[in-house]
Structure 1
Amino acid sequence: MYSFVTFLAALPCVLSLLTPRQAVDYVNPNLNGGSMLDNAGDGFGEPLNVIISALSSPDVLTLDGFENFANAIGFSTTCLGIQLGGPQSANLGDGNGFVNQTVELRQDFGSSALGTCLESLIGGNHLRVFIQNGPSADTGALFLAVSQEEDLEEAHTIVPNGYNIGRDALSLAAIGTTSANGVTYSTVGTNVTGLLAPGSAGVNHDIATDGITTVLTITIV
């Protein structure tokens, strides 16, 4: 009898370990002093225009898990591990303040080994990842700053309309069924307004955006 009572007393703690950190897609950074623009280091920022929902499969929300998903949609780590330029930071309104990007990935043109070197030369899509995991909004959602870059000769600036182009290209590659390294993903997407202000106010390179953020929910199947 005693052991059964002890089990019942412990049951809420056991169940809590099985509950997501917060059963929401994400928390709006704007509601708690954060921003949907990161800090590019020049007084301007790049839009966080894609969110990987916290309701995705938990393994996708880890660094290794997201990088594998990124491989499935044509992104890999930077060329030979060389990072040009400094990291950007973002305040996701989660109580952590400004935190540097977790990783930066580039379009790999079908070669995870050397494809990003080609992107560095000729330009292409790229993304920066920020994790919402602070004490005020511990969702685990991933906020991505996605943009289409110019080539090396243009010093990797963003192409005209490059934030919208980058977001849409990533979403097109992601939505549906994809796979990499033996893992298969099913992804659905929803376009959300009201997180990002449309226009170019505060946006790096003075490139206007349409104010749309795409929320992707990725399930390992």
Structure 2
Amino acid sequence: MRAQLSFLASVLIASPLTSLALVIPRQATGFFNPAQGGGSMLTDAGNGLGEPLNVIISGLSSPQVLSQSGVTNYAKAIGFSTECLGIHIGDPQSANLGDGHGSVDQTIELRQDFGDPNLGTCLESLNGGNHFRVFIQNGPQQNTGALFLAVSQEESSSENHTISPDGYDSGRDNLVAGAVGTKNFGGVTYHTTSQTVSGLLSAGTAGINHGIAIDGQVTLLTVTVS
């Protein structure tokens, strides 16, 4: 018995971080699957349907990113900004991230700025483009700090800002393409890596707003500030 205890102690001392990661899974992933806490990877659009939470900014990212002000500055580094003249278009949506908060309204909505973080989102509101809603997983049961994004490409105001065909998948892919690598804004430098996560969403149109099919893939971003 003493020999077994001595061996176990030596393993824990040699690799404490590995052992810790085994007993605290969320430290290895940076988010908690909402479905496991009674939540959903779809927002509530108010009509019985929802939009996919198709991008997650990992809770393992730098803390400076994981807040409303932090993600807003990060968004400006990757081609998005606050809404045109502060005017919100469309109804806010809610989501249950399974963190113990239940259903909560989006924290903020950010739109493609076409290179102008001050007035560029007015072009998005007029002509259409990419946009995303932000929800923070910070409840009493799962305080991962992860940011869940509902990203989609939308049509122009003349089309009532309906989602473009394949707009959920293309919106996700366009955001990720503009985020990965090194970006700067407001004196802050961001380094972003990505990985694809399967199994959080189902492919197809079931429960999806506007009946637009999705491929079921979620992109996990890890953002480090230097």
TM-score (norm 1): 0.89
Aligned residue in 2 for 1:125:
130
What does 1:1-221 correspond to in 2, within 5 Å? 23=27, 24-221=29-226
Q: CA deviation at 1:169?
A: 0.3
Cα distance in 2 between the residues matched to 1:105 and 1:162: 16
What is the CA deviation profile of residues 21-78 of structure 1, one whole-angstrom value per residue up to 9, with x for unaligned ones? x634100001111000000011100000000000000010011111111000010000
Distance (whole Å) between structure 1 residues aligned to residue 150 and residue 70 of structure 2:
18
Q: Which runs of 5+ in 2 are unaligned?
A: 1-25
Tell me the amino acid that sits aligned with residue 146 of structure 2.
Answer: A
Name whichever structure is richer in strand by fraction: 1
Secondary structure of 1:219's partner?
strand
Q: Deviations over 1:82-111 (max 9, x none)?
A: 001221000000011100000000000011
Mapped to 2, the partners of 1:195 and 1:25 lie a distance apart of: 14
Give SS of 1:47's match.
coil
Alpha-carbon shift at residue 135 of structure 1 (Å): 1.1
With the length of structure 2 as denominator, give the TM-score of the two structures: 0.87
Deviations 1:154-205 (A, max 9, x none): 0000000000000000000000000101110110000011001111100000
Letter in structure 1 aligned against 2:126: L
Aligned alpha-carbon RMSD (Å): 0.7
The residue identity in structure 2 corresponding to 1:96 is H
Q: Secondary structure at the match of 2:110?
A: strand
User: Which letter maps to 1:131?
Assistant: I
Residues matched between the structures, number: 200
Q: Distance in 1 between matches of 2:208 and 2:138?
A: 25
C-alpha distance in structure 1 between counterparts of 2:109 and 2:70, whole Å? 14
SS at match of 1:139: coil
* Deviation, structure 1 residue 133: 0.6
Q: What is the CA–CA distance in structure 2 between the aligned matches of 1:100 and 1:62, rounded to whole Å?
A: 15
Identity over the aligned pairs, expressed in percent? 63
